[in-house]
Chain A
Amino acid sequence: TQLLEQSPQFLSIQEGENLTVYCNSSSVFSSLQWYRQEPGEGPVLLVTVVTGGEVKKLKRLTFQFGDARKDSSLHITAAQPGDTGLYLCAGGSGDSGGGADGLTFGKGTHLIIQP
């Protein structure tokens, strides 16, 4: 069974601070996706990383996929209250990783940015 562990589980910081959340596994994944979920809504895809060592930037968000494709991190610069939400990482594996095998999700990081 593939497991993805996310840390920290909860994080509350002040507006303007920087933060990093982590997603770790002992398994290798073909791809790693990060989602953001707000209360009462389904998760929304932020980014997909597929190459070991890959770094992707989305405005103030920086995503990194580990060289061995077992871990990933999400760094937010100058956090804003609008960044508040549940951040989920999800790993895909196999030739049709997001399909027949389904995505393996971590339990998420609950992020609160206080004004």
Chain B
Amino acid sequence: GAGVSQSPSNKVTEKGKDVELRCDPISGHTALYWYRQSLGQGLEFLIYFQGNSAPDKSGLPSDRFSAERTGGSVSTLTIQRTQQEDSAVYLCASSLDGRWNTEAFFGQGTRLTVV
């Protein structure tokens, strides 16, 4: 597609349920990032993929969070046993090669509300 696509755009879930967020990066972009933006806050870095591998998963807030990327393209962020503090906008971005001076393009985000 022309840009980074995220789905769903909005998700309301009950506390304790699992959710899966999807990111379709720009075709040909090898680097993919997940960020979390809470109300009134900046972006919190969660995880980065170069191809299918994630060198460092320490940015994930807890072991309830996991992410994978297959085929060097689509990525999913899974949150198990959701808690109210997980409510936030989850943003995905992709860039051509992940170098520090390469522009990252963001999707519109998934707004997650845990009730």
Within the complex, the shortest CB–CB distance from B2 to chain A, in Å, comes to 14
Which of A44, A95, A96 has the most chain B CB atoms closer than 10 A to its own CB? A96
CA distance A108 to B41 in the complex (A): 7
A96 to B106, CA, bound (A): 18
Which stretch in A13-21, A69-77, A99-107 binds the other chain?
A: A99-107
Out of A43, A97, A102, A107, name the residue touching B106 (CB < 8 Å): A43
How many chain B residues have a CB neighbour from A under 8 Å?
30
SS of A interface (majority): loop
Q: With a CB–CB cut-off of 8 A, which chain B residues contact A92? A: 100-101
How many A-B pairs have beta carbons closer than 8 Å: the answer is: 78
Q: How far is the CA of A59 from the CA of B59 in the complex (A)?
A: 36
**Any chain B CB within 8 A of the CB of A98?**
yes
Interface residues of A in 57-111 (CB under 8 A from B): 88, 90, 92-100, 102-108
B77-99 residues with Cβ-Cβ distance < 8 A to A are: 91, 93, 95, 98-99
Chain A residue nearest in CB terms to B30: A99
Are B104 and A103 within 8 A (Cβ)? yes
Using a CB–CB cutoff of 8 Å, the interface residues on chain B facing chain A are 4, 31, 33, 35, 40-45, 48, 50, 55-56, 59, 91, 93, 95, 98-109
